[in-house]
Amino acid sequence: MDGKTTKEKSPPILQTPRNTVQRLSRRASYDREVVNAILDDAYTAVISATVEGGVRAQPIYFWRIGDELYVHGSRRNALFNALMDGQEACLTVTLLDGLVMARSAFHHSMNYRSVVIYAHARAVTDEAERMEALKQSVERIEAGRWAQIRRPSEAEMRGTMILAFPIAEASAKARHGGPVDDPEDYDLPVWAGVLPCKIAFSDPIEDTNTQPPD
């Protein structure tokens, strides 16, 4: 889902004081490929912003097209409207990969992959671009689906706001692998290792309704 011709080249991620990981910086990356791979494995982000002087945050479905992260929602969404008034967003994506069981309490940890992006939202207003963005929101789940479903009506399009955030001032942070204990703790008689986990899909559940449920 790169959205680019092969001639265009993505600019590098910007590393600024704000998006430079301070704690456990060896786990950080500012490589666009690393950032994109994490984003493409996830479905939900949290958008945070300052609204009327206070912090607000909201979980949301997102998808990536090229160097931008997209979300959509109602035109009446208060957080969206604050972003349109110029408030900057912080977008956070987290994938939990495992629970790390160490021999000491202190070294218990998580395996994870996360991305944090600081960005101002761009309202997607061109109707063709809006339709293409919505197509990608569905096609990322199942390629070819857009051709089979009813496309958005004019009224549905009118009520929908689509925002795009540049993936520019971003950072990835990840932990992989087993526990790292203090040398003197390796002899303790306790199981140590990783409980691996991931978002796993089970068998699809077909909707056999022939009209809207009550």
| Closer to a second copy by Cβ: residue 36 or 80 | 80
Minimum distance of a second copy from residue 127's CB (angstroms): 14
Whether the Cβ atoms of residue 169 and residue 14 lie closer than 8 Å to each other: yes
Other Cβ atoms less than 10 A from the Cβ of 129: the count is 13
* Closer by beta carbon to a second copy, 107 or else 122: 107
Dihedral, CA atoms, 149, 155, 159, 160, nearest 10 degrees? 30
Pairing of strands 28-29, 169-175: antiparallel
| Strand 54-61 to 44-51 pairing | antiparallel
Q: Report in angstroms how near the CB of residue 203 gets to a second copy at its nearest.
A: 8
C-beta of 198: minimal distance to a second copy in Å?
A: 7
The dihedral of CA 164, 167, 169, 174: what is its sign? positive
Q: Which is nearer to a second copy, 10 or 175 (CB)?
A: 175
Residue closer to a second copy by CB (options 125, 148) is: 148
What is the C-alpha end-to-end distance of the chain, expressed in Å? 37
